[in-house]
A and B are shown apart, each in its own frame.
Chain A
């Protein structure tokens, strides 16, 4: 090490008049490619100037034999300075290398930016396509609705023998027409909800509302026909006499209709639906459970996915849109709530959702906390 050091000083001393040579030498000695440093004129200049300056200063020390830099006329200070210079040179190279890397990175970066821009454009196109698709979905669904309502209505008139008496075979056929039309109308309702939701057209108009009087009771009344058609008995249970939410009335009805329709659709004939709700801390928790075959464990989560139709159901139930619970989840989450499903395969299926209670009425739910706890264990 020491020998190298002295050798270097000698070489620099000899060649300092030719900076280009000097630097080449330096880098060769330190296994540094001069090509690198040459590509950065400013750095090269800087290094050159510093080196030149320093060696000149060494020359000014009287009686110094520069051919023997380790001799006594060289102070430790001088040696340190030279060491720093060498350090500096390698630092300079590192800087240079970094700048090379940086340049390469910048190139890569601009390439990435270009790609990102392309992707952004593609994304915009896809979004436009999606909007078109949703518009069409909305349009088609809307156009299909009225003819279907007409079909269902006429089928009902026939079924009630209001257009003449039907024999048993005809009655059976008419009932199939009615069931299929109802399924289609339900599907279309979900498609319309989806196209509104995804186009941001589903505006929330939240206000304080009484869940039991405004949402629950009217919805259950509206759905009475669905229950009686499958001879399903509905049980409602709660420890609350009043529940206040800050919510959109129409959307919350959509939620309840979807969840209960689901229970009717996938519940067994002559089965039961249990709807219970309770206030727990700051939330209203609603559980809708239907008896029936339920859903296998790994399929439970899937029920909220878009366009999901579980394989475990045969076509006898009739295909749904695969959107009802997807839309429901969207609405619940928009209200700051949570929704999930539970099931015991072969026995029951349950949707649970939770919505924040209206703040100023929270006190009331705390008052009932004892009841909730005893109810809950």
Chain B
């Protein structure tokens, strides 16, 4: 792993002593439980990503309006008016955000109903394996 530091502008590489030309990919983590956000963040930080965090679906929706993340990792059960499934639907039905991949984290079996274009791009059952999550993310970005 290279020695890097995160700044508001991007990732600073000490060895190259410069900012990356292209900003790192942004990943939005949405979970009301800090422990899970910590785990997802630490897992993702192994590769260089910019992390955004939200504790509720509603807050996540606000963020998405301003910043377009490259990936959203979303818990199903959250307080507030938007749970993970409702938020996924909202993201997928909006022309502006419908191409953002959504990974859904869940503790209970999720039954996906309705239009398959509203489905999340991947589903992880808690306890999930951080390595699987990381593999999926790497796979997602190397394909694209």
A contacts, CB < 8 Å to B: 145-150, 152-154, 156-157, 160, 162-163, 181-182, 185, 222, 225, 249-250, 253
Contact = CB atoms under 8 A, between A and B. Distances in A.
Interface string B121-138: 000011111110010000
B42 A157 contact: yes
Nearest to B40: A153
Contact of A157 (B36, B43, B107): B43
Contacts of B130: 153-154, 156-157, 162
Contacts of B39: 149-150, 153-154
B109 interface: yes
Given A156-B129, A182-B127, 10 more contacts: A146-B35, A146-B36, A149-B126, A150-B35, A150-B39, A153-B127, A153-B130, A157-B42, A157-B43, A249-B111
Contacts of B38: 150
A145 B75 CA distance: 14
B101 to A, nearest CB: 21
A40 B46 CA distance: 97
> SS class of chain A's interface: helix, strand, loop or mixed?
helix
B109 A149 contact: no
A148 B46 CA distance: 21
A152 B134 CA distance: 15
Contacts of B99: none
Contact of A147 (B35, B111, B125, B129): B35
Contacts of A163: 42, 46
Nearest to A222: B125
B43 A145 contact: no
B52 to A, nearest CB: 19
A162 B43 CA distance: 9
A153, A156, A185, A222: which has the most chain B beta carbons within 10 Å? A153
B18 to A, nearest CB: 26
Interface in B86-109: 107-109
A152 B131 CA distance: 12
A186 B122 CA distance: 23
Contact of A145 (B126, B129, B131): B126
A373 B2 CA distance: 66
A165 to B, nearest CB: 12
Closest 9 CB pairs of A and B: A150-B35, A146-B33, A153-B39, A149-B127, A150-B39, A146-B35, A153-B130, A147-B35, A152-B127
A153 B109 contact: no
21 contacts: A146-B33, A146-B35, A146-B36, A148-B127, A149-B39, A149-B128, A150-B36, A150-B38, A152-B127, A153-B39, A153-B43, A153-B128, A153-B130, A154-B42, A156-B130, A157-B43, A157-B46, A160-B131, A163-B46, A182-B127, A222-B125
